[in-house]
A and B are shown apart, each in its own frame.
Chain A
Amino acid sequence: MASASSEATGPGPAPAHLAPSVARSVKILVVGAFGVGKTTLIGAVSEIPMLSTEETITTASVGVDRARDTKSTTTVAMDFGRVTVGRDIALYLFGTPGQRRFWDLWAGLADGAVGVLVLVDTRHLEESFEVLDQLEEHTRLPLTVVVNEFEGAPRHAPEDVRSALDLPEGTPVVSGDLRERPRAVEALTTLVEHALRRQTEGSAAA
């Protein structure tokens, strides 16, 4: 699978190139609070080992004395994976923190996306409110809420999650242990179906 390793890439993994037949790509964003299972979901379906890429942001410090450097840098990482669907389509799964200011770091990240999987831990629902608010306010991307059923966490019916999160009408809710590949694939399938439905309805209305 991996080919063409070179000294130039250093000790990192050899690049896993796509099959020569692959000439199209699509992406899905996987968002959610820290520890909610973004990496788990991506890892469950990815055909390559998880990759990560970082951007550095410079933030001006507040209230520091002038003798010191008034700027500090923070690194924000994005984990992602890839899976080839059909003969010639590469599907990329980009995991990012939910706040819009993070995914704005990667130019064009949201543009042209199929949609967004919003991962939710029912033990920390409050963490999902900000994420959902920002997605609804700032994007028109189709959403699917994915409840990661952690071991030992209480179970809730999808309808209860829907009303607790005050989701827009028609937003799908799926749940499952995201370590299991079929559950992760189901989440993706549900989102793509939803995106397709919205497009067909949109063009019918136009």
Chain B
Amino acid sequence: MQRRQLLKNIAGASTCIGASSLLMSVPFAVNAKIVNKNQIDPLANIKTSFADALKDNPSLLGLKNTANNFAHQQLTIEGKLPKDLTGVFYRNGPAKYEQGNQRYSHQFEGDGMINSFTFANGNIVHQGKFVETTKFVQEQQQNKFLYSGPLSDIKNSRKVTQADTVNTANINVIPVDDEIWALWESGSATALDATTLATKRRVNLGANSQYGDKLKGLAFSAHPKIEANGDIWNFGLSLSGHVALYQLSSKGLMKNVGIINARYRGKMLHDFLITHKHILLILPSLTSQADRSHSNLKLFASIEYDSKQPMRVLVIDKQTLTLKKQYELDAGFAFHFGNAWEENDGTIHFDASINDNFKVMDELSEIMSGTAKNLDQNSPHTALFTLKPNGGTTKVVVDGDSEFPRVYDHLVGQRNKTLYTLSHTQSQFWRDTVCCLNMDSGKKDTFIYGDEFIAEEHIIISNTAKEGDGYLLGTALHIPSKRTCLNIFSANNLKGGPICRAWLPYHLPLGLHGNFKAS
């Protein structure tokens, strides 16, 4: 079993929390560089260490704390903005890393901010607003952290009586009816006004349905899959190892709910897949201590990668939400999957941005103190899996690294021939390359931003249901000028470079995931 020593070192003792996946308890954050044996607050050390590191390493810019919302700002456009690209591009990600003299010890702990880019009348206008979760509002009022996070230990932390108490709404954002939902993965979605980005309410998943309040507070993952018919499929992990499965209408009304006892002990499950017939829960080779309530380990430090534990795939019928088949794959860990589809004979294909370790969690902690030097040593790669009806499986590894896989919206759960990802080429720090993999030929169409840029997730926008049409859209942080730019590519010609680039006069915090709502 591979011990993730860094996060364990980062841990001290303290309260323990115990229930929905991403959140809960925390240890003292201290890594080798910033250990202080005196009674200095480790989170204050992290803040000081990061500020020092930023002076020597401008690449850390995107991980600086964001203090305030961003007012409306029109972008400066280079190149030609396509006329058929109208709507709003929403992105989410952690942005509030610091309160008072403390800084969180893991990137995933930061409070979420929604950034929107509105394409209208030949212009692009940006605004950014923090999701005003209960936690965020309380902590802003007092200018200090009140709750321990999944790794950071806050002295005299208030008790976390339910997962939503520490919901940071910081991973993804999807349009739902006339709202947008900011997504976390261990608790409720948060509904926001799609125009003003004002926070409206914590979403009660069963509202106006037969389920009433029975779904209140259940985990709702940050990676729902939206079928071409508009149905929203998602899951939520309970720390007990059970997984709730949801089918909602395009308006966010719950249609069907099921619960599977996945007997999964990994405590973290970030993404999943659907085909036209089935849900795939792909359980990585993670495990954790049996009962953290009797341990001092915080959630992130309690999760371990076990190279002897196969990944498991649970194949669940979408109509009945019952388990139909299970497969075992080589040990592995993946945050993200691109797509799955199914042949007439029941053969299932899917891709994963997969790794043989869980060190990324350590890196995303080290980077908070600015001590991470090189983040590409443990970057995942694309693997293409086939699950045969007779129980057999195949795995094909694609050369090069990959993360943030995306496919065309109309092909979610259907056969896709292209897969768009991010990877490293010149940058040793973060990702600087966008790539389109042709799944049939194996050929790649790539554009290298270069090591002056940090490229974030890129998404596909198309007004047609034809692969190759439309655009690839994504943000990148230009380190020398300290500005964020929005880049638009022809989806079938990445190597030609952006056909349009639009600049903000400042930089945004590096985010995670986003989606586009066409108008």
Indicate, yes or no, whether A interacts with B.
no
Q: Which residues of A come within 8 Å of B, CB atoms? A: none
